[in-house]
Structure formats: structure tokens, C-alpha cells
Amino acid sequence: MSKIAHKSHTCQAVVVSCMDFRLQEMISRWAVKNIKGGFDRVAVAGGVKNLPFVLGQIELSVKLHQISSVYLINHEDCGAYGSKGTFEKHREDLLVAKNALARKFPKLKITLLYLKLNGEFVGIYTKQT
């Protein structure tokens, strides 16, 4: 492989979301609009619910494509969470995932989002103490 091909084999970000078919078009449209420089996609039931798996996928994205940003997207009415999937629960899980990720990869820029079924992306922010 040439050096040029190797150099171009990188991207800006990885986008982690639920596999739910209802979200895919919204997420694709949002990501293409908001992420310049390409992105990997991880789609797994529950989004960050299976954190060890998600961390492993992000680690691969870092190693293979030298990403600098991570977008973690959980969503409203997620079947993997069932009746436990309140906004507060998703918020909590996203923040736990962010902390775990920040410990492992301190340089990554991490964005947390909660996607409503109406297509609205709600930003989740860490409370500063």
C-alpha cells in the first residue's frame, strides 16, 4: 500500500448509537451535516448500554483511524432499556460512558446526545462542580 492510501485511511470521529432502524436515517443525516472529515459508525442495541463492547469498538476506531472525536447517542423509547429507559437513566449511562472513555483516552473530544423520536438531538452536559 502506498503512503498516500495509508494517510487517507483516517477519519474525524466515531458515532455510537442504537441499532434501532427508526434512528438510522436521522443519525446519518445529522452526522453528515455536523461531522467534517468522515466518521465510523457503531450501531448496537441500547447504544452505550453494553459499555465494554462500545469501549472496545471505540478503541479500534482510535487505533485504526486515529479519530479525535466521539459521539455517543442514546435515544427515546429504546427497546434495549424497556421501561427503565427514562431520560435520567440514559443521561446517567451516557455520563458513565463518557467518564470511562475520558479515563482511557484523555485526548478524545466526547459529545453526548439523546435523540428523541421526533428527530431532535438533545445535548447532555456534565455538571461542573
Query: Which residues contact Zn ion (rule: CB under 5 A)?
Result: 18, 20, 78
Cα atoms in the Cβ-side hemisphere of radius 13 Å centred on 44: 16
Q: Which is nearer to Zn ion, 32 or 77 (CB)?
A: 77
How far apart CA 23 and CA 36 sit, in angstroms, is: 20
Q: Which is nearer to Zn ion, 51 or 102 (CB)?
A: 51
Q: Which is nearer to Zn ion, 43 or 55 (CB)?
A: 43
Strand order in the sheet with 39-43: 39-43, 13-17, 69-75, 109-115, 121-124
Q: How far is the CB of 22 from Zn ion (least distance, A)?
A: 8
Q: How far is the CB of 100 from Zn ion (least distance, A)?
A: 20
Q: How far is the CB of 61 from Zn ion (least distance, A)?
A: 21
How far apart CA 44 and CA 47 sit, in angstroms, is: 6
Q: Which is nearer to Zn ion, 62 or 112 (CB)?
A: 112
Closest CA to 26 of 125, 124, 113: 113
Q: How far is the CB of 60 from Zn ion (least distance, A)?
A: 22
